[in-house]
Structure 1
């Protein structure tokens, strides 16, 4: 049994509305007798989506004693829209009650500092654990078993069904479609007349070919149920597929497939041969990438053995991909690790192309750049790769230069900055953009998802303008070349309207200025001078810290602006650090990454040979304000895995 600190009663659950309860507002008396997991999430957050999937088997195994309550605490303005939240609950097939917390009142009551945060409450209504980030399910299983045993003996555990009531759904021929690509003539369905399009029908976990009208399905791959299976078009299964890219014609016979699909929740790249319908796995082992064995050995979480079988490599929510002429490989937006990968279909080599894995906006060489849930890619005529970097609401680009790839930002300021404003790089704002396409004049169309708009960035004038608005969460854009003498159109995937629409490309773009915003998350108030950062970590039952090669924990700390920390930044072993703060800066964002490695084994004993080892990691981006008031924080405690 884990030794616990003095018990703290769970705060009330307050918000605007409840979903998945049949219209009932829940309180702790309704949940008494159940083990409750509060999941603080936002529907923009890839790590939160990972946790939703991690919790599903736990919810199924303990369906009579455990209730998950999703507390939706929005980051972006659009996420505070109740209709957008309801659509997200449907899109991600959430089968537990969800509290709409637009003012972050419950978030603040539980002192959450990161998306996602899990808080475990026992059947008597007392908090027993705080967990940040992903990868906690194994520990949760142990904790739920302990709590069930304890409260069964006390008579305080009540078995039976929970308060979940499913919502009715309404969709069209598509369900929350993700990405679109045009099929060349030789790959189209035999009955096709004119251009056809491949679309990921993400909500139905399949890939479809639409005819030129965009209203008729010609062929499908995968089924209406999520899963993972290779095989024929009918037998194969996907799980929320997203991006898709056409294999260059000269390579198709050699590699044996025509299209590569980013199968996001399966953490795999899938190959589809269109003439036979055969679906295969071309990269990814299905295990979400945190730290593979070679990475643990080398101490480099970005290490991938170049000789590794591509199907043995761990990926993390691949969201989009595009062929790169510059490196003759596919470039993959690996949303889950905030990086850009490459995949060579001939050799099968998978490598990290750009990004350290830190979440944020930092330009520079590929090896030092930061990304944040990159979700859209497009190649320009000169080989430049344009990137929709969703969590920083940024348009980034990767240029291939003599000394290697370089990352720069066209639009975007940081993790907490967004808005709906046209203008120069400094003035312009997007809101969680997911898709990009290169237009005939080499300007860039952007699916500005949470603004419900399509925007245009013109590299020649360095200005952002607006092409269209009042769309329902556009998730991708594609240029439709209609041939000589015809004006090109723009195809827009309207995810929340379950359709693909055609839009003209205005010769004179609209002008919009609805302001710039920052995430309405209250800053942590600091006394100033120094700040001690402490990350709590308690290994789950049956695991121990892997100290065979030294301290298995690490803190990596930086700030925006960097000058905010005068001493103590960087990566060092240990989960406690004292920072010296710049007295001339009052507002900043702290970027903290905590890591701890634990392996199967009992405390005090040896770690068995070939024991399974686990990396626990969480990134925090914490807005802070120095007040100079001694009553404010001098120590900031961040729960990586804290058990009371």
Structure 2
């Protein structure tokens, strides 16, 4: 929930005439008609100011379903879509969201925040109750107010029935007819050991197994209706399932998002069981650990296996949790529950709607959607931000990570070379972050709301959620083969460390010094603060580095170049050669670590190595 902490949760109003809703985007779910409060006089109106990126807003959409049904002949709910991100100002995106989240009431698309301003709204979500005579009677900020609103609606029904100012009758609901597609707003995808794909078909509340072509349906798991029901593949029920992960026993764990639960699917039989969650959302004061079937969860959006646990991106409360299958318990692992972008020890860090997870040797990577950030929980239990600057810092910009911008990413995928593919959802792009260089680049654009991806051989298969399909893209050659350097970490000395690049010209060649130095060395670190000194470019292949132990583990990125020419008494027109190698060296400064790192730039056969405590073949 954005900015709601600064707004009072409930504000009772004096008799103030409610302004007429207005928005240049027009109306949805009305068959083309528009509504006015004057035309709805006699009905109780609930204005829901929401935006589709906000998980708390989506919670309210679900909370209101029962209230709308119970008071359907007296209460009119109108969603006023009030965007935060640029993508949310697009009318087609709002229409997609209304279908995706099964919003079953009229929605006013207000891209310029006209109605938001008229009502002095300050937070997502905000709900405003207007009585049958057209006066504002109460304002609520945040989620969890449905019971109180229900009591208020009952009071208003009795009061205005007695006054003769209550008008009953259903309001027509006219959603657009969805186009026929194999998938409908898929969320995440998992490549199964058989080579097939399992996708969460969120709007249809099912899982779909697709053949290796990513298109042919092999089977569907789930009845296709909302619910929390275990059982056989054709009778079990989900609610908008998202994340998928393989468990050590070969089954699949499912983040059953709107059920606030973790489910298990036996791939052989299709049988579905519940691992964790009660079906009710977590609220402040609830337990944050305990028997998995007795603790409430909150919109689990993604799952992955790491360090003998199933890790859960708990988007609804801005935290990371774990599920331990050994003893059947869940526990909070990172995040205070407050929304923000704050690094530090896991228990003190702040996340903002974590929605995607991936694992590399560096740790657990998190697509932190509302802060438009890529975060890392390292093996030492510290949270670090790789890309991103805050809740309102977003855009599409490549370059150094501390300057790059994302826009509400929902997924992150480990690539073979140790870099990360980020499903940059609201930029309609697949981005790449290289921890070795600290650079962000763009792999592909024109991907309609990508929400997840999986590597398949030399390709990456992307979930194009708003195009209702999986899309296969060829990975660049330099990210397909995993570097040996990613497999181990060298413990280096605290303080001064000598880096040596060994180079000998091949037989029959000599260093080419005709136009200046024949060698060049470039050193950088990720994070940059890992080095207090020694970074940058120079002509010497030997360098004194100064490490900062407070930063913890990181990666040294070393690029060495040497020029040589053919030599000998019979060489009249010598051919010249350039030898270049890169190394990504995972290191951890510790007391007693090695004070010398040596890498080899071999001119003989192109092979390179690094020595310290651990060899590092060149990339």
| TM-score where L is the length of structure 1 | 0.71
Cα shift readout 1:505-534 (whole Å, capped 9, x = no counterpart): 23589xxxxxxxxxxxxxxxxxxxxxxxxx
Residue 182 (structure 1) shift:
1.0
Query: How far apart are 1:171 and its partner, in Å?
Result: 3.8
The structure with higher relative contact order (CA 8 Å, sep 6+) is: 1
1:342 aligns with 2:312: no
* Contact kept? 2:14, 2:137, Cα under 8 Å: no
Q: CA deviation at 1:311?
A: 0.4
| Paired position in structure 2 for 1:9 | 17
Q: 2:365 aligns with which of 367, 386, 396?
A: 386
1:361 aligns with 2:341: yes
User: For residues 383 and 426 of structure 1, do their structure 2 counterparts lie closer, same or farther at Cα, with a shift above 3 Å needed?
Assistant: closer
User: 2:278: which partner in 1?
Assistant: 285
Change (3 A) 1:166 1:476: same
Question: Deviation string for 1:72-112 (max 9, x for gaps)?
Answer: 00000000001111111111111111011111110111111
SS in structure 1 of the partner of residue 348 of structure 2: coil
Q: Which runs of 5+ in 2 are unaligned?
A: 1-9, 480-619
**Inter-partner Cα distance in structure 2 for 1:164 and 1:211:** 38
1:312 to 285, 294, 303: 294
1:492 aligns with 2:462: yes
* CA drift at 1:346: 1.6
Which has more radius of gyration? 2
* TM superposition shift of 1:291: 2.8
SS at 2:374 equivalent: strand
Task: Please give the alpha-carbon distance, in whole angstroms, between the structure 2 residues aligned to 1:180 and 1:169.
Answer: 22
State the match for 1:397 in structure 2. Answer: 376
Matched ranges for 1:611-622 at <5 A:
none
Aligned match for 2:151, one of 129, 139, 142: 142
- Is 2:439 aligned against 1:457? no
Q: Is the partner of 1:29 in helix, strand or coil?
A: coil
Q: Distance in 1 between matches of 2:274 and 2:32?
A: 43
| SS of residue matched to 2:199 | strand
Q: Partner of 1:28: helix, strand, or coil?
A: coil
SS at match of 2:394: strand
- Helix, strand or coil at the partner of 2:396: strand
Is 1:219 paired with 2:195? no
8 Å CA contact 1:292–1:314 kept in 2: the answer is no
- Aligned partners of 1:444, 1:171: CA distance in 2, in Å? 33
Q: Is the Cα contact below 8 Å between 1:332 and 1:341 reproduced in 2?
A: yes
- State the partner residue of 2:504: none
2:420 to 433, 444, 463: 444
Secondary structure of residue in 1 paired with 2:218: strand
d(CA) in 2 for partners of 1:356, 1:436: 22
Moved over 4 A (4+): 2-5
The SS at the match of 1:57 is helix
Q: Distance in 2 between matches of 1:438 and 1:3?
A: 46
| RMSD of aligned residue pairs (Cα, Å) | 1.5
CA shift digits 1:468-487 (9 cap, x unpaired): 00111001011112xxxxxx
Is the 1:353–1:366 contact (alpha carbons within 8 Å) kept by the matching residues of 2?
A: yes
Contact kept? 2:12, 2:139, Cα under 8 Å: no
CA contact (8 A) 1:97 1:163 kept: no
Change (3 A) 1:378 1:4: closer
Whether the 8 Å contact between 1:171 and 1:498 is mirrored in structure 2 is: no
- List gaps (5 residues or longer) in structure 1: 186-194, 253-257, 296-302, 482-487, 510-644
Aligned-partner Cα distance in 2 for 1:374–1:24? 37
Pick which of 19-28 and 56-65 moved more: 19-28
How far 1:116 sits from its partner (Å)?
A: 0.5
- After superposition, give the CA deviation of every residue in 1:571-610 in whole Å (9 maximum; x if it has no partner): xxxxxxxxxxxxxxxxxxxxxxxxxxxxxxxxxxxxxxxx
Partner residue, 2:238:
238
For normalisation by structure 2, the TM-score amounts to 0.74
Instruction: Report the number of matched residues.
Output: 469
**What does 1:456-535 align with in structure 2 at a 5 Å threshold?**
456-481=432-457, 488-507=458-477
Shift of 1:205: 0.3
Displacement, 1:426?
2.2
**Any idea what the Cα deviations from partners look like across 1:430-471, whole Å, max 9, x if unmatched?**
000001111111000010000000000011110100000011
Counterpart Cα distance in 1 of 2:255 and 2:177: 29
Distance 1:312 1:5 in 2: 39
Aligned equivalents of 2:11, 2:345: Cα separation in 1: 47
